């Protein structure tokens, strides 16, 4: 392309191809998350954030680089999900600041913009950690600055140098973070950023068509376990479209259909026989699925629902039923049981979300704006949503206090401490204090093979997460695992244990566990159906 100078249209196309390039390897990026738990995975959150950024940029017909950069930054902020998505939005905000008032930009301008992007990303993190996406961005920016000093006019060599530096920086992340080295992986966020740069570079080289049927060459850690790591995560689609239909045909192969559709979406259900099959799936591209299905037979009872619309309607219904209050509580939760719990505790609006379904900044903002009060307490109830929630305060005229609840039990404890007799500041202090007194054990099954804390963890093995930080793995018996986790909580100081169980978990099984805890520790144990996805049990200790 002879890319010496770029305007807004080229900037948009650079990051559009970067986003497409990122989309091709989301499962692989998700699979190198250190914790082997089902959550709002790094690759998925980065992709959804970039989708929002590019959608906003696509609506801007301006050819001015500054204008397009601002659109991308705004779209990324509104669509930011999880920690990686928020950092990515801060990167784009810094990039826009560096390109301010620029109709077009050269290599020197882009290097300056990357420096601003790196600074914005670091400023947005209270306790920045090296060996993460932050380091990769900083190294890319420094390399771009050196390249621009050699040739300030040409954009291509600066982007090429920054991309090479990002790749090398990703490879070094295990040297900076011991947890990555032990797991035998590179940093997932850094990997995603490198792929984004690499896609933009391919565009500048005029290789958009050439790479259409290729996938990115990912950076691997030069460590013993790295070769054993296999991508096992699927792309989680928090929203998008919910698609249901019947296929009537002859000699329908359910296993083949299941295998084919598994690559096209999430929450897949395929049931039936060789002549009639019912399909349920969540996807951003329902047209592709329907097109494939029509080649198998005749379609019946086709339903396509926009889950973003369903989400908006859900928030609207909650707003309409709530009277105006002095202080409103907006909380995040997943599971019918937890919805009932938070409703009973006076939550004003409940945002659907949590593990694998991190709400975006824009969705949390909608809930805050819909709440019938100018004073808002926001409970994220998930460590991967706290950073997202913290972005909301600067986007609204309302007074918003984020209580940094990392788990659902912390959110419940904070809600119990709320009082209408106290003002916003007093409630904030009381709720933070109550939150800190709660310990949480999450019990699930490992979604990937890894190594942590000296333990080899197999895919499908029962694991427990203590306070959303410490991983515990022990054999294949869930009851033994729970008791092992309980012993690590200083349970002798505990007065009350509450077991929240998943929708698919049998109540008789939960009662058996509860009784054994009562007998083993002589504690009061309460059992509640949380209905949460992914985690068999969420155990609260107070």
pLDDT in tens, 398-456: 999 999 999 999 999 999 999 988 999 999 999 999 999 999 998 888 877 777 777 78
Residue 472 pairs with which residues in a beta bridge?
464
Three-state secondary structure call for residue 188 = helix
Domain made up of 439-541: CATH architecture: 2-Layer Sandwich (3.30)
3-class DSSP state for residue 103?
coil
Spatial contact of 174 and 185, defined as CB atoms under 8 Å apart: yes
Q: What span, in angstroms and rounded, lies between the C-alpha atoms of 366 and 78? A: 10
pLDDT at 234: 41
- How confident is the model at residue 411, as a pLDDT? 95
Cα(450)–Cα(463) distance, integer angstroms: 12
- CA dist 25 to 47, 71, 143, 197, 507, Å? 10, 25, 25, 14, 39
The enclosing H or E element of 524 equals strand 524-529
Question: What digits encode the pLDDT tens for the residues 224-239?
Answer: 433 334 443 343 444 5
Answer whether 353's CB lies under 8 Å from 334's CB. yes
Q: Where are the alpha helices (DSSP H) in 330-376?
A: 336-344, 361-370
- Concatenate the DSSP letters of all residues of 108-155 into one string: HHHHHHHHHHHHHHHHT-SS--SSSHHHHHHHHHHHHHHHHHH-SS-H
Angle among Cα 236, 242, 244 to the nearest 5 degrees reads 125
Give the angle subtended at the CA of 349 by the CAs of 319 and 535, to the nearest 5°: 145
Q: Each residue of 162-196: b (16+ CB within 10 Å) or e?
A: bbbbbbebbbbbbeebeebbbbbbbbbbbbbbbbb
Which tokens go with 279? 């399909």
Retrieve residue 337's tokens. Answer: 């049981």
Question: How many other C-beta atoms are found inside a 10 Å radius of the C-beta of residue 115?
Answer: 20
DSSP 491: G
Q: What is the DSSP letter of 267?
A: E
The Cα 158–Cα 150 span in angstroms is 9
The confidence score (pLDDT) of residue 335 equals 85
Are 292 and 298 spatial neighbours (Cβ–Cβ below 8 Å)? Answer: no
Residue 32: half-sphere exposure toward Cβ, Cα within 13 Å: 29
Q: Quick one: pLDDT at residue 39?
A: 57
User: What is the structure's pLDDT at 2?
Assistant: 47
Place of tokens 């479209």: 241
Cβ count within 10 A of residue 64:
18
Helices (H), 372-506: 383-390, 408-417, 424-436, 478-487
The first and second tokens of residue 409, run together, are 């039990």
User: Which tokens in the block code for residue 114?
Assistant: 């990357």
Which pair of structure tokens corresponds to residue 33?
A: 């998350």
Q: Tell me the two tokens of residue 506.
A: 């049998």
Which segments of the chain have a pLDDT < 50?
1-2, 223-238
The whole-angstrom distance between residue 241's C-alpha and the CA centroid of its chain comes to 18
Q: What are the extents of the domains in the chain?
A: 6-228, 241-306, 322-423, 439-541
Number of CB atoms found within 10 A of residue 278's CB:
14
Superfamily designation of domain 322-423: Phosphotransferase system, mannose-type IIA component (3.40.50.510)
Q: What's the token pair of residue 76?
A: 């990324």
Contact criterion met (CB below 8 Å) for 277 and 256: no
Task: For the beta carbon of residue 285, count every other beta carbon within 10 angstroms.
Answer: 14
241-306 topology per CATH:
Alpha-Beta Plaits (3.30.70)
pLDDT at 478: 82
pLDDT of residue 454: 72
What is the CATH number that goes with domain 6-228? 1.25.40.340
The reported pLDDT for the residue numbered 30 is: 83
Same CATH topology for 6-228 and 322-423: the answer is: no
For 37, residues 6+ apart whose C-beta sits below 8 A from its C-beta are: 355, 442, 444, 446, 447, 463, 465, 534
Which structure tokens are listed for 424?
Answer: 């916003």
């Amino acid at each position: 392309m002879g890319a010496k100078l770029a305007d807004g249209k080229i900037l948009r196309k650079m990051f559009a191809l970067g986003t497409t390039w990122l989309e091709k390897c989301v499962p692989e990026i998700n699979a190198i998350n250190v914790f082997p738990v089902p959550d709002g995975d790094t690759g998925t959150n980065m992709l959804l954030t970039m989708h929002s950024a590019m959608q906003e940029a696509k609506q801007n017909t301006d050819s001015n680089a500054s204008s397009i950069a601002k659109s991308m930054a705004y779209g990324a902020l509104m669509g930011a999900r999880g920690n990686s998505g928020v950092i990515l939005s801060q990167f784009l905000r810094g990039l826009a600041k560096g390109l301010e008032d620029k109709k077009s930009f050269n290599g020197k301008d882009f290097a300056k913009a990357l420096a601003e992007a790196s600074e914005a990303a670091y400023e947005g993190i209270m306790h920045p950690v090296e060996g993460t996406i932050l380091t990769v961005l900083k190294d890319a920016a420094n390399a771009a600055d050196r390249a621009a000093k050699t040739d300030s006019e040409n954009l291509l060599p600066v982007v090429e140098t920054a991309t090479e530096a990002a790749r090398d920086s990703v490879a070094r992340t295990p040297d900076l973070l011991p947890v990555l080295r032990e797991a035998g992986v590179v940093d997932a966020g850094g990997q995603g950023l490198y792929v984004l740069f690499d896609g933009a570079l391919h565009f500048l080289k005029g290789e958009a068509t050439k790479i259409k049927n290729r996938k990115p060459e990912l950076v691997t850690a030069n460590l013993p376990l790295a070769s054993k790591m296999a991508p096992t995560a699927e792309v989680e689609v928090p929203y998008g479209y919910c698609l249901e239909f019947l296929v009537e045909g002859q000699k329908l192969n359910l296993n083949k259909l299941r295998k084919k559709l598994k690559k096209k979406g999430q929450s897949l259900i395929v049931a039936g026989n060789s002549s009639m099959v019912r399909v349920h799936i969540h996807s951003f591209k329902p047209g592709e699925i329907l097109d494939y299905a029509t080649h198998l037979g005749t379609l019946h009872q086709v339903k396509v629902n926009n889950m973003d619309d369903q989400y908006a309607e859900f928030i609207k219904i909650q707003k309409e039923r709530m009277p105006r209050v002095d202080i409103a509580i907006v909380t995040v939760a997943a599971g019918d049981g937890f919805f009932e719990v938070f409703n009973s505790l006076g939550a004003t609006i409940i945002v659907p979300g949590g593990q694998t379904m991190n709400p975006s900044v824009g969705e949390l903002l909608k809930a805050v704006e819909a709440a019938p009060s100018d004073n808002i307490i926001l409970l994220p109830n998930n460590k991967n949503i706290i950073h997202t929630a913290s972005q909301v305060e600067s986007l609204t005229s309302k007074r918003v206090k984020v209580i940094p609840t990392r788990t659902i039990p912390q959110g419940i404890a904070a809600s119990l401490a709320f009082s209408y007799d106290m003002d916003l500041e007093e409630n904030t202090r009381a709720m933070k204090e109550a939150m800190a007194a709660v310990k949480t054990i999450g019990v699930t099954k490992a979604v990937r093979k890894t190594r942590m804390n000296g333990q080899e963890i197999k895919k499908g093995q029962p694991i427990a997460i203590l306070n959303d930080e410490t991983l515990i793995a022990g054999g294949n018996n869930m009851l033994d695992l729970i008791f092992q986790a309980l012993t690590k909580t200083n349970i002798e100081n505990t007065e009350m244990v509450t077991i929240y169980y998943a929708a698919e978990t049998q109540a008789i099984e939960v009662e058996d566990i509860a009784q054994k805890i009562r007998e083993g520790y002589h504690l009061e144990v309460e059992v509640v159906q949380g209905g949460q996805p992914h985690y068999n049990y969420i155990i609260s200790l107070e």
